[in-house]
Structure 1
Amino acid sequence: MTTFISYHPASGAEVERVDTLSAAELERRVQQNALAAREWRHCAFAERSGLLNRLASLLSANRERLALTMTREMGKLVTEALAEVDRCARECTYFAAHGQAMLPLARSMTTFEPMGTVLLLTSWRFPLWQVFRMLAPTLMAGNAVLLKLAENLPLCAREIASLLAEAGAPDGLVFNLPIDKPQVATLIADVRVKALAFSGNREDARRVAALAGRQLKPIVLELDETELHVILDDADLELAVEAALRSRFRNAGQLGHAARGFMVTPGIADDFVARLSARLSELQPGDPEQGASTLGPLATRLQRDELHLQVQAALADGALAVAGCELPAGEGWYYPASLLDRVQPEMEVFRRQLSGPLACVIRVPSLEAISGLCQELGPDGTVSIWTRELAQGEQLARRLPFGHCLVNMDPYQGKGYPSGCHPASEGRFNIKAFCHLKTLLVSI
């Protein structure tokens, strides 16, 4: 039997062990969830919005406790954790207020009917947000949800279950499932599971999507994507460096959309590296529960080890360590704010998605070289181009393959989240994502 273990990343100490569900208990939860789904789809919108408003109130009322749970289990700074709780509360209130208008039903010949039970598989980067950004619209649409959180988040899963119970969610409407990979595969094939949502890396997504495809079940994927910053010779260095910090070092660099690298042209490269290095010296690893800390530990020991192996391989291949890049002594899974210069495009540290506080600078000789290097990286990604010559920035953006191109714009707008990741009726986890389109024709 698999055991899920909660560790304290700041010390490396084990906190708690949670066994996977037995086959009998898994069956009981799935059956109860299926029954709850049948009843919930017929509940009035007022009842659905009431649940979401109560969840929002509970999130706000318990924000400090919830933030500390995330900090102690995943390692993120408590200030970032508080912002995540607040964002979850706003998501709930948004769909509580606007969800009914997004799903016209009364006297409509075309309606959106809930599918039933939706299985959500999440990663560990944002323990609450990755749940509530899907949970709020999905519940408002009339669906039930089964949650499979990352294996290192059993305490966060328990907090979510407590919030739902205290908010008065019907029994079985949302269940947390501490289950292993074979159990997940079995659950995907279960006829009572009507659709899936997945958040994480592409390798795992391929396996999950293949299992869903065999059953012809719809699946919504939120995948790790490429993000690059291109800093041209005439860029405003202050703006570019601040954007680099937000794009690479939020959440200790543990993001699916964090900047993979910084392509810098020759005339500004030395200044950019010097300024970024100076700012990184301000990011010192510290207790993530203290509001003054600027860099928390990584979520798992394995993640830190993999990051350091990537750094060592890049150094062996000719990259230069400008800041950090060494394993610190002491307890916990900390890694210093690190900067590699003269990274080459073929290096694994650039080719693979990074998960940790490491920035890579790739020096490129020309705009043509930038365009050539980027062609194989799109279109699922974002590029931020920094230049005072807007026409040049726009021309380059049009030549690059990415689906999201910004010129002199910070993709995180100083808020810690990418632009576009806000409550909306359309988008990846919109309220219609897990609804069937139903047409009603009446002969007269």
Structure 2
Amino acid sequence: MSTEVINPATGEKIRNYEELSVNEAFEAVDKTHQVWQQWRNTTFNERSRYMLNAARILREEKEKWGQLMTAEMGKVTKSGIAEAEKCAWVCEYYANNAERFLQIEEVETDASKSFISYQPIGVVLAIMPWNFPFWQVLRFAAPALMAGNAGVLKHASNVPGCGKAIEEIFKRAGFPEHLFTTLLVGSDKVNDIIGHEKIRAVTLTGSTPAGQAVAARAGELLKKTVLELGGSDPYVVLADADLEATVEACVTSRLINTGQSCIAAKRFIVVKELKAQFESMMVEKMKSKVLGDPSDNQTDLGPMARADLRDDLHEQVRQSMDAGAKCLLGGEVPKGKGAFYPATVLTDVKPGMPAYDNELFGPVAAIIEALDERDAIRIANDTSFGLGAAVFTRNEQKGKHIAEYELEAGSCFVNSFVKSDPRLPFGGIKESGYGRELGVFGIREFVNIKTVYIK
């Protein structure tokens, strides 16, 4: 069986990739486990040397990687280049900090000596999405390999070239062959691979249904999981917000990666006295964004990753409008080739509409009116998701309080759009998943936190 990769900007076939059988995938996992048996005993200095090499390759060849992302999933090339640079950053971050994060911690007890040791657990299976085809993988792989683990990647079926490229980067950087392996398999083989006895843990970034399925299978086998799932991030705009800066941040967040980001702003909850002005400013700013060829440096919005995803998004927009939402901008599928969808602004969005209840994974902004600050916070938390959230106010103390105590999400920002950073833990609550990536918490998710007690 083969996977056909289609360029979403042109609809043209790029190439076919042959998929592995279950037995072939199992053989690859076995090889990775065998290599891990030696890798687990390497020093942090050795691991760091290879990881810094990977960072160098990512940065030196960033244009090449950006163009690959453009071809396979339609990412605007300049954004793909920035993604490769961010991947280099996360490699450098863990190369320079892993030993400190995992150093022995002595604990005073009635023993002559007792301490906590962080030890690798083995082969970690990563099931990763197409929207950030390098970053999602590297933010798992950098801490996992630096902790002394091995990695097996099941990438999204429309970005197999990105998966194989990352495997090659690690090999070129000096990591042992098979320590990080990309498996070209379909989703129908994931359950079997999770069941392989040498897979010790699973990390997934993807939809909530995918996370539920993986968690159920891994839980049945008592294998640790980290899940980073969907989001419907609320951005709360209070009466004292700096509107110009607020709208700039809101539009930037909503349109990152052509709106195909779990932590992109999805719902804009605006107090009623600012609603009309916010709508006008958002429409003007969204209208200025250029939709077109993703390889052109003047382009802001490329195609969506697949035509079926574009069509699903348009159906959510249509259903929301049928239920009473007003379309202030966009909302129509462009004619011609490619999976394009324009920057779209919906307002008067209310419960029961897809734009209110569900994640809109594309360049569509949903504006929701709130009566006041308390109502805005209530609406922000009126979701099954809990990945990111933001609040905009000139009162920094008020913003800090709302972000820290009142917004129900894993990452809460004040006067800025939500973004991931290697130095800070990243993950969600509720249907947005559990566990954390990045920071010190990310590298400690897949280690044996071992107590050693000496009498």
TM-score normalised by L of structure 1: 0.92
Q: Secondary structure at the match of 2:202?
A: strand
With 23-32 and 81-90 compared, the bigger mean Cα shift is at: 23-32
Distance 1:399 1:221, change over 3 A: closer
The reply to whether residue 422 of structure 1 matches residue 431 of structure 2 is no
Distance 1:45 1:384, change over 3 A: closer
- AA at the equivalent of 1:271: Q
- AA at the equivalent of 2:316: Q
- AA at the equivalent of 2:450: K
The reply to whether residue 245 of structure 1 matches residue 235 of structure 2 is no
Distance 1:231 1:442, change over 3 A: closer
Q: Distance in 2 between matches of 1:151 and 1:86?
A: 24
Distance 1:105 1:404, change over 3 A: closer
Q: Distance in 1 between matches of 2:259 and 2:16?
A: 27
- AA at the equivalent of 1:123: P
1:284 and 1:336 in contact (8 A); partners too: no
The reply to whether residue 437 of structure 1 matches residue 454 of structure 2 is no
Q: Distance in 1 between matches of 2:424 and 2:269?
A: 33
With 293-302 and 226-235 compared, the bigger mean Cα shift is at: 226-235
Distance 1:40 1:394, change over 3 A: closer
Task: Determine which of 147, 164, 170 is the counterpart of 2:170.
Answer: 164
Deviation sequence 1:162-201 (CA, Å, 0-9, x none): 2122222212111101112332101111111011111111
1:70 and 1:156 in contact (8 A); partners too: yes
- AA at the equivalent of 1:53: L
Aligned to 1:347: 353
1:425 and 1:431 in contact (8 A); partners too: no
- AA at the equivalent of 2:128: T
The alpha-carbon deviation at position 247 of structure 1 amounts to: 1.6
1:4 and 1:17 in contact (8 A); partners too: yes
Aligned to 1:271: 277
- AA at the equivalent of 1:29: A
Distance 1:394 1:441, change over 3 A: closer
Q: Give the RMSD, CA atoms, in angstroms.
A: 2.2
2:327 and 2:347 in contact (8 A); partners too: yes
Q: Within 5 Å, which residues of 2 pair with 1:26-37?
A: 26-37=25-36
Deviation sequence 1:121-169 (CA, Å, 0-9, x none): 0111100001111111110111110000011101111211221222222
Q: Within 5 Å, which residues of 2 pair with 1:173-252?
A: 173-252=179-258
Aligned to 1:70: 69
1:110 and 1:438 in contact (8 A); partners too: yes
With 176-185 and 125-134 compared, the bigger mean Cα shift is at: 176-185
Q: Within 5 Å, which residues of 2 pair with 1:53-132?
A: 53-104=52-103, 109-132=115-138
Q: Secondary structure at the match of 2:313?
A: helix
The alpha-carbon deviation at position 368 of structure 1 amounts to: 4.1
Aligned to 2:110: none
Q: Secondary structure at the match of 1:343?
A: coil
Identity of aligned pairs, percent? 33
With 299-308 and 393-402 compared, the bigger mean Cα shift is at: 393-402
Aligned length: 435
Q: Secondary structure at the match of 1:145?
A: strand
Aligned to 2:312: 306
Aligned to 1:366: 372
Q: Distance in 1 between matches of 2:18 and 2:199?
A: 23
Distance 1:244 1:207, change over 3 A: same
- AA at the equivalent of 2:298: A
Q: Distance in 2 between matches of 1:106 and 1:345?
A: 49
Q: Distance in 1 between matches of 2:385 and 2:192?
A: 33
Distance 1:214 1:366, change over 3 A: same
Task: Determine which of 295, 309, 319 is the counterpart of 1:289.
Answer: 295
Structure 2: gaps (5+ residues): 107-113, 427-435
Aligned to 2:386: 380
The alpha-carbon deviation at position 390 of structure 1 amounts to: 5.1
1:118 and 1:144 in contact (8 A); partners too: yes
- AA at the equivalent of 1:4: T
Q: Secondary structure at the match of 1:359?
A: strand
Q: Distance in 2 between matches of 1:51 and 1:400?
A: 40
Aligned to 1:147: 153
Q: Distance in 1 between matches of 2:449 and 2:131?
A: 33
1:345 and 1:362 in contact (8 A); partners too: no
The alpha-carbon deviation at position 440 of structure 1 amounts to: 2.9
Q: Secondary structure at the match of 2:391?
A: strand
Distance 1:391 1:50, change over 3 A: closer
Q: Within 5 Å, which residues of 2 pair with 1:1-12?
A: 1=1, 3-12=2-11
Q: Secondary structure at the match of 1:287?
A: coil
The alpha-carbon deviation at position 357 of structure 1 amounts to: 0.6
- AA at the equivalent of 2:49: G
Q: Within 5 Å, which residues of 2 pair with 1:12-51?
A: 12-51=11-50
Q: Distance in 2 between matches of 1:362 and 1:23?
A: 48
2:19 and 2:186 in contact (8 A); partners too: yes
Q: Secondary structure at the match of 2:203?
A: strand
Q: Distance in 1 between matches of 2:50 and 2:215?
A: 31
With 285-294 and 104-113 compared, the bigger mean Cα shift is at: 104-113
Q: Secondary structure at the match of 1:441?
A: strand
Distance 1:387 1:16, change over 3 A: same
Q: Secondary structure at the match of 1:93?
A: helix
The alpha-carbon deviation at position 393 of structure 1 amounts to: 4.8
Distance 1:150 1:316, change over 3 A: same
The alpha-carbon deviation at position 306 of structure 1 amounts to: 0.4
Distance 1:222 1:331, change over 3 A: same
With 340-349 and 297-306 compared, the bigger mean Cα shift is at: 340-349
Aligned to 2:432: none
TM-score normalised by L of structure 2: 0.90
Distance 1:438 1:406, change over 3 A: closer
Aligned to 2:323: 317
- AA at the equivalent of 2:379: L
Deviation sequence 1:251-308 (CA, Å, 0-9, x none): 1000011122111222211111111111112112111111111111100111100010
